[in-house]
Amino acid sequence: MANESEHGVLDRSRHALQDDFLRAAVRFTTDRLKGRKHAAAEELGDWEAWRERGRQIRAHTIAHLDYYLREFVQNARNAGAHVHFARDAAEAREVIAQIVRTKDAKLVAKSKSMVSEEIHINQHLEKQGVLVVETDLGEFIIQLAHEAPSHIIIPAIHKTRGQIKDLFTADGGQNLSTDTQNLTAYARRRLRETFMCADIGITGCNFGIAESGSIVLFTNEGNGRMVTTLPKTHIVTMGMERIIPSFADLEVMANLLPRSATGQKLTTYMSVITGPNRERELDGAQELHIVILDNGRSRQLGDEHFQEVLHCIRCGACLNVCPVYRHIGGHAYGSVYPGPIGAVLSPLLNDGEKYADLPYASSLCGACFEACPVKIPLHDLLVLLRQRHVSAGKTKRIERLAFRSFKATFAHPWRYKAAMRVARAAQKPLVRDGYIESTFGPLMGWTDSRHAPALAKQPFRERFKEIRQNVDAVDNAGDDDFEGSDRP
Ligand code: SF4
């Protein structure tokens, strides 16, 4: 896949920074989403109270996940669904492939699902000769481009109309214009065939409701309804943490999720599916399978800090406000989950070196926390992941050496003073109008896209000494006046 690169996040970011269109497109769309979100939150009123309620629901559910998961599974089975557990991506792929084989399915229609991206189900089924078609418009576009989503909610955020036109033209063999209606009409025609002929529909799951065993889907394009009602078999891929206890909790989540994701009061469609279709029901799949995925999630349960990452409701709001994501887009993260949530989730789920550099792709400004509808302290988790990385001795030797010298210098005032004197003298040839405009060697990273303020000519320590002397002098003069005054 396009974003599964062997290079680190730094290399991929450098590459992304060269792409002016990508940066402009990502900034334009995320700005729009941010603006809409603020308006929608304001319209609801008391947003902070809603956020706090959302946090409480997620914290309570995850703290008692074993209980609610059992309740969900029991009720889903009572409603007629088949429930499968998958310890990892390979097991989940195999469970799904087995269902596909049993049904002798040749065509699978998919609705947007991050879990299915996480387990790479499309590639797995395609290797077995099954045609998998993404039916969400954005996902359809990036499937044709053989890329991965670059945003949790808007997968094709980085594509121009011209690029989409080229992809659709190549797919359909007829020349299309860049007119939006024309393009969407092509996608509609093309996907309608898929809906009508698909043997199996695969969707994700925004929430699983424990008290009824229902799954809930928030969608905007109607494809979710088609995928869940037209094919005879419906497979749901669901992260094990997507549970909420009750419909009362769904009311809170239905207010938080669409507002945070797209600034809508509610998505165009909200589907609640409880079991397969029943006698005398005209719509709905005759067989419903729910595949519940662990894949590293249970490792976070009980962890004092990282359990909170399971509170996430995948709204994508933290991406829209992140200064790093807004510059480099999603593919630079190299993971299915981009942005601040991806920088925390990816290393935790994979527990290896693969994504160990992602927590460094953050300015730690805390904007992600402010945007998060369930108040996950992502900036704190990023620092803790960095700390873990450093404690495990995984940083480069040069970095370790640099920080050791830093510590040795800052631990003794005389060393600090001497180092500052040397630095002040060394910076002289590089300073223009109070700023260092360019450096060389390993320091280049500080100045190749911004100017660094130069060290002040006179250190604050010396200035402070002077100021204090002046203040003391004024005070003493005042005392003299006071001594000579008639005041009581
Ligand atoms: S961490 Fe918060 S803001 Fe980011 S996707 Fe998850 S719920 Fe949304």
Closest ligand 1 atom, residue 340 Cα: 4
Are the C-beta atoms of 164 and 185 separated by less than 8 Å?
no
- Measure the N-to-C terminal CA separation of the chain; round to a whole number of Å: 84
CA–CA gap between residue 134 and residue 136 (Å, rounded) = 6
Closest ligand 1 atom, residue 261 Cα: 8
Closest ligand 1 atom, residue 375 Cα: 2
Neighbour-count burial of 77, counting CB atoms closer than 10 A to its CB (0-12 exposed, 13-18 middle, 19+ buried): middle
Ligand 1 centroid to Cα of residue 219, in Å, is 17
Tell me how far CA of residue 176 lies from CA of 157, 187, 361, in angstroms: 21, 11, 39
Ligand 1 centroid to Cα of residue 204, in Å, is 17
Are the C-beta atoms of 237 and 116 separated by less than 8 Å?
yes
238 phi/psi in degrees, rounded to 5: -145, 130
By DSSP bridging, strand 107-110 and strand 131-134 are parallel
Q: Does ligand 1 lie within 6 Å of residue 316's CB atom?
A: yes
Q: Which residue from 300, 336, 376, 380 has its CB within 8 A of the most atoms of ligand 1, so it is best to mutate?
A: 376
Closest ligand 1 atom, residue 152 Cα: 5
State the amino acid at position 118 in one-letter form. E
Closest ligand 1 atom, residue 368 Cα: 3
Q: Does ligand 1 lie within 6 Å of residue 81's CB atom?
A: no
Please name the CATH architecture into which domain 9-300 falls.
Answer: 3-Layer(aba) Sandwich (3.40)
Q: pLDDT at position 439, please?
A: 67
Are the C-beta atoms of 219 and 189 separated by less than 8 Å?
no
Q: Which residue from 374, 375, 379, 381 has its CB within 8 A of the most atoms of ligand 1, so it is best to mutate?
A: 374
Ligand 1 centroid to Cα of residue 424, in Å, is 44
Q: pLDDT at position 485, please?
A: 46
Handedness of CA 127, 132, 137, 140 (dihedral sign): positive
Q: pLDDT at position 435, please?
A: 87
Q: Which two tokens stand for residue 115?
A: 């879990």
Tens-digit pLDDT profile for the chain (488 aa)? Answer: 444 445 789 899 988 989 888 888 899 999 999 999 999 999 999 999 999 999 999 999 999 999 999 999 999 999 999 999 999 999 999 999 999 999 999 999 999 999 999 999 999 999 999 999 999 999 999 999 999 999 999 999 888 889 999 999 999 988 899 999 999 999 999 999 999 999 999 999 999 999 999 999 999 999 999 999 999 999 999 999 999 999 999 999 999 999 999 999 999 999 999 999 998 888 889 999 999 999 999 999 999 999 999 999 999 999 999 999 999 999 999 999 999 999 999 999 997 788 999 999 999 999 999 999 999 999 999 999 999 999 988 888 888 888 889 999 999 989 999 999 998 998 888 888 888 877 677 677 777 767 788 898 888 888 898 888 888 888 777 665 544 444 44
Domain boundary assignment for the chain: 9-300, 397-453
